[in-house]
Structure 1
Amino acid sequence: MITDPTAVALLIGTFFILIVLGVHIAFAIGVATVITTIYIGIPLMTVAQNMVKGINVYAIMAVPFFIVAGEIMGSGGISRRLIELSNALIGWVRGGLAMVNIMASMFFGGISGSSAADTSSIGSVLIPMMKKAGYDGEFSTAVTMTSSVQGILIPPSHNMVLFALVVGGVSIGELFLAGLVPGLFLGLVLMIFVYFISKKRNYPMGDKFEPKKALKTTWEAGLGLGTVLIVVGGVVSGIFTATESAAIAVVYAFIITFFVYREIPISEFWYILGRSVKTLSIVMILVATASAFGWIIAYLKIPAYLTESILGFSENKYVVLMIINVLLLFLGMVMDMASLILILAPILLPIVTAVGVDPVHFGVIMILNLGVGLITPPVGSTLFIGSAIAGIKIERLSKAMIPFYIVILATLMAVTYIPEISLFIPTLFMR
């Protein structure tokens, strides 16, 4: 039973009112926590202590390194090389450029770990290219945005690190491996879908397959993809921790970008650091305030109440997972992904584990689920980026996205109800 219903109403009500008023979510969380703490009569020092506790964690140091590594590789010509590699491998089939888009996102996602970065880098090149080749602008943009969701699943993903950090006791290495097959599976499903659409609309084929060109582009792009091998290989083998592998990845990315590819001057590094710090500052403020928010939620026994309510409705694992999926899909449409991970993961994990869901499996479900929110109105950040790049209104894009929503939701259901898709590789290598 909730200890103080008025305090709960004050906490949740203040939070949503501030969101509606346009206050940044990190500050909305913090202000709601402070007001509720004052109402309850607990010293405000407790809020400060929990904020510091939230960011005073060794594992969180991996996040800034991943952000910097992704920024470096995204700025240094890797996206162009990944597009050339994808084109050499699969551009020769019907609808080849659409498949190149999906495959390039698959590769780039393993470097940036960000749907927004993926759409910005890949979309700025491929959307105009696809439109010039005869593809519809809405279709080209929809392919780009939907395939970018692979970036938050395919390792290394800083969202996976945030999930592991906030729930505790879940291996980052296992989460990395668990996201690999679902990410590739999403890409495969999208490729099959766009192939049939391309045949129906008679979209063009690319140049024929050339083995020499494929080998050359593989070598050039492979140097950039080495970042992924360093992180995943180091963590899974136990040679490095996630933080250590992320730091090494930054050094590797720096060398490849500025001394091997050499497409941008080394002076650009300071601008890259500036963008990274801007992103990191938002993440760290969010982690700190979410930590205090999580503490007040636990103090008011909201997790216990939700667990009791959901399990009281049904203890069937499949029904519970469907309820949670619907909840996450709805919240993902109106709130930021990282915020929802930090707030909801500690609340929902005890519920799903009570009905026998593996924590690693649930981590993948949650990440993919919230990834749908990134491409869904009204606040999907990737949707706005795609709209800006393509010069197409959100309303038109949302309509064009309907069949893609069906595809990605079908993928979500498969990942949710077939745990082996997520757990096969972690079980094979780390259990």
Structure 2
Amino acid sequence: MIVAFAFVILVLFGMPIGFAIGLAGVVGLIDMGGGSFLAVGPSKIFNGLNIFPFLAMPFFILAGEIMNDIGITSRLVKLAQVLVGRFRGGLAHTNMLASVFFAGLTGSATADAAAFGRTLVPAMVKEGYDRDYACAVTAAGSIIGPTIPPSGLMVVYGSLMGVSIAGLFAAGVLPGLVICIVCMAVIAIGGKRENLPKAQRGATPREIWVTFKSSLTALAMPVIILGGILGGIVTPTEAASIAVAYALFIGVFVYRTLTFKSFYMMLVRTARIMGVIFVIIAFAGILGWWMSFERIPQLIAETVLGLSENRYTVIALIICLLLVVGMIMDITAILIILAPVLVPLTESVGLEPIHAGIIFVLALNISLMTPPVGACLFVLSSVTGEKIERISIKLLPFLAAEVAILFAFAFWEDAAMWLPRMLGYAQ
């Protein structure tokens, strides 16, 4: 109780989440046995970071930074536009399809929201869309990024819980595509109600072909990453480093738009992002050890199973907990704190580790667009100037659809595990 109280107080006083986790863990160590237990702290911090697959994260982030900087985003948006721009709400459909293309480059929802908030949202407003609706479409599509691999959240989950990262990547492909299709259906259904504009004409086959050819270098990157990992040719860490090398080659020798100054700034941004993530992971090692020592995961599992041993009830309770906590906390911190607590519970009701992982990832990704602390909402609000409340209202139909998709994949194991099983990552 004293540890939870310390953590809440520190967060309420505005302390960064990583340091709040670390100090709460220190309070737990002192409560366990006075100052003598503090000597354990440094080793737990080191062990929290001494996990080789974590190396994939900065490489994936850097590769995405490079591909975004050298103009890949605009090429992918143009390709999406010639494919679906002819329909009512064409730019909204383009936004959603471009999120699928963009997912294979960055694996980041906030990067997607920032990039499209600066490019597609102004274009949609110029075409006659309401700005709050344009932001809502962008937010709804942004979570496709960390669902379709590469996904930093999957790397963290797989590394911490000893689950195949490649298997998690495989499990994320189908849900990401379904999110895109269902959200495009939401756009189509609400097209007349929102008075969405319709394109004057569709692209000709020649225009589609020319645009496709110009986008091949961008489309090749997800093929390299996913093909290498899912084909068993390279590990996720090796694929991430290859992605950086490929992005550098394209930027320097093909597009010739990459400069030393811009590359330096990309390294700085990558270091800042990873610094925040690694501080959380490092200090969570102390808190995690304290929770294990106090048998908190086992106590929570016993409490929940005391309420119901029904598989679907337990899954629903876990999802609701993740969605609620995701509204008020950073999703990486949630994953690091709650995964060791809740995964034993999923095992007790017979969930495969990969299936449990994709449930965690989908639920936390949805939390990126739920107020009051949805990261994608803050990014879009700061980039476009639109109020978070207005975006949130327009986001409700998309949010309902994506929560329904989450429950569908959580309850329908055959769908969630189809691709991992087909590729041999699960039985």
- Hey, what does 1:5 align to over in structure 2? none
Whether 1:281 aligns to 2:269 is no
Superposed CA offset, 1:376-397 (max 9, x none):
1111111011112221112222
AA partner of residue 46 (structure 1): V
Superposed CA offset, 1:255-304 (max 9, x none):
11232122342431111111111111111111111122111110111001
Whether 1:10 aligns to 2:16 is no
Q: Shift of residue 226 of structure 1?
A: 2.1
Whether 1:129 aligns to 2:123 is yes
- Hey, what does 1:332 align to over in structure 2? 326
How far, CA to CA, are the matches of 2:232 and 2:402 in structure 1? 33
- Hey, what does 1:190 align to over in structure 2? 183
AA partner of residue 35 (structure 1): V
Task: Determine what percentage of the aligned residue pairs are the same residue.
Answer: 39
Whether 1:344 aligns to 2:338 is yes
- Hey, what does 1:96 align to over in structure 2? 90
Structure 2 contact 25–284 (Cα < 8 Å) conserved: no
Q: How does 1:417-428 map to 2 (within 5 A)?
A: 417-428=411-422
| 127, 130, 134: which one aligns with 1:140 | 134
Q: How does 1:297-316 map to 2 (within 5 A)?
A: 297-316=291-310
Q: 261-270 vs 50-59, which deviates more?
A: 261-270
How far, CA to CA, are the matches of 1:419 and 1:185 in structure 2? 15
- Hey, what does 1:173 align to over in structure 2? 166
Q: Shift of residue 404 of structure 1?
A: 2.0
Superposed CA offset, 1:363-418 (max 9, x none):
11111111121111111111011112221112222222222221211111212111
- Hey, what does 1:6 align to over in structure 2? none
Aligned partner of residue 213 in structure 1, secondary structure: helix
AA partner of residue 89 (structure 1): L
Q: Which sections of structure 2, spanning at least 5 residues, go unmatched?
A: none
AA partner of residue 18 (structure 2): A
How far, CA to CA, are the matches of 2:408 and 2:146 in structure 1? 17
Whether 1:67 aligns to 2:61 is yes
AA partner of residue 149 (structure 1): I
Structure 1 contact 258–266 (Cα < 8 Å) conserved: no
How far, CA to CA, are the matches of 1:262 and 1:91 in structure 2? 29
Structure 1 contact 104–122 (Cα < 8 Å) conserved: no
Q: Shift of residue 333 of structure 1?
A: 0.2
Q: 148-157 vs 197-206, which deviates more?
A: 197-206
Q: Shift of residue 221 of structure 1?
A: 2.1
How far, CA to CA, are the matches of 1:362 and 1:36 in structure 2? 28
Q: How does 1:75-90 map to 2 (within 5 A)?
A: 75-90=69-84
How far, CA to CA, are the matches of 1:346 and 1:59 in structure 2? 18
Structure 2 contact 63–244 (Cα < 8 Å) conserved: yes
Q: Which sections of structure 1, spanning at least 5 residues, go unmatched?
A: 1-8
| 415, 422, 430: which one aligns with 2:424 | 430
How far, CA to CA, are the matches of 2:318 and 2:239 in structure 1? 33
- Hey, what does 1:371 align to over in structure 2? 365
Q: Shift of residue 25 of structure 1?
A: 0.5
Aligned partner of residue 267 in structure 1, secondary structure: helix
Aligned residues: 422
- Hey, what does 2:102 align to over in structure 1? 108
Q: Shift of residue 216 of structure 1?
A: 2.1
Q: Shift of residue 233 of structure 1?
A: 1.4
How far, CA to CA, are the matches of 1:263 and 1:217 in structure 2? 19
TM-score, with length taken from structure 2: 0.96
AA partner of residue 218 (structure 2): G
How far, CA to CA, are the matches of 2:168 and 2:267 in structure 1? 27
- Hey, what does 1:253 align to over in structure 2? 247
- Hey, what does 1:57 align to over in structure 2? 51
Aligned partner of residue 73 in structure 1, secondary structure: helix
Whether 1:19 aligns to 2:11 is yes
Structure 2 contact 140–398 (Cα < 8 Å) conserved: yes
CA-atom RMSD in angstroms: 1.3
